[in-house]
Amino acid sequence: MPNSAPNIRAIYNPIAGRRDLSAFLKKLARELEIRSFNLEITPTAGPGDATRLAGDVPDDTHAVIAVGGDGTCRDVATGLLGRNVPMIVAPAGNENILAKYFKSKATIDSLVSTIIEGRMTSYDVGTLNSKPFILMAGIGFDAEAVHRVTQSRTGHISYLTYAKPLWQTFWRHRFPALRVTVDDATVFEGRGLAFVGLMPRYAIGLRLLAKAQHDDGMLDVCVMPCTSKRQLIGLSIAAIIGRHVRRKGVVYCKGTRVRIESPDDREVPCQIDGDVADNLPIDCGIMPRAVKLLTPPLK
């Protein structure tokens, strides 16, 4: 007789964060089996592999659990674009911005309750040169630091992994010239750094895009003029206390199409969701409510 128990796929990144996830997932599988769910556990083999694995799940899959950091969640979401199979976030990275936004936890009790009585929601997905992102694109300083982390990464990482790359970037960054166009209107020209995204929260709790909403069909854009290390320190302090938008020259707006280029054709790095992306020029767009999420029940 065929097994009619609902199927769930857990896709996990073996090098996410600082702990081994396999034992945790085996325990989750046992708890779900008691509740008549089948859990298939699949590790990723490299960057982007989660997209292929998520894309291969059958349409009748109850949910796909993305176990890892925000990059793993992005890759799983990419594989589920436009489908009715929802994603569940099980945070196992360092920042876990998406998980914090939806109050998702990587505990057995939280995941079981989400699977059984979770709330369904839809989530916008952004694109940078057609590559999807779920949080934010950064252009300039933070992207340069991400590039340095990526070049030196060999396995699990922690906040300490970022210390040296951030320090090197602080001393070597040259604050590129940017031209930012939102829905065909040029909103900024000058040296600085820019962020385009769907999520209010950034790393270490900074709310760089404080007005962003995950399902409004819009990209939030924040551009900060910056020409020196002194200015960068000032902007950082202002961002920590939530007053960066009030600083002179800062641009904050919303749109559906964003183009950022370097007028002097310099090689300017970009990042999406904490991973390396294309250098400038970039074109960002929005796919409204393109992914379904199963989030923890209200308590």
Give the pair of three-digit tokens for residue 61.
């899959």
Residues 249 and 291: their CA atoms lie apart, in Å, by 35
Question: How confident is the model over 130-154, as pLDDT tens digits?
Answer: 999 999 999 988 888 887 876 655 4
**pTM above 0.95?**
no
CA 8 to chain centre: 23
For residue 17, the model assigns a pLDDT of: 56
For residue 2, the model assigns a pLDDT of: 47
For residue 1, the model assigns a pLDDT of: 35
Percent pLDDT > 70 in the chain is: 92
Query: Which of the pair, 204 or 184, is modelled with greater confidence?
Result: 184
Structural domains of the chain sorted by starting position, each given as residue range(s) with its CATH number in brackets: 7-117 (3.40.50.10330), 131-288 (2.60.200.40)
Question: Is the pLDDT reported for residue 211 higher than 70?
Answer: yes
Closest CA to 89 of 50, 49, 138, 131: 50
46 pLDDT tier (thresholds 50, 70, 90): confident
For residue 137, the model assigns a pLDDT of: 96
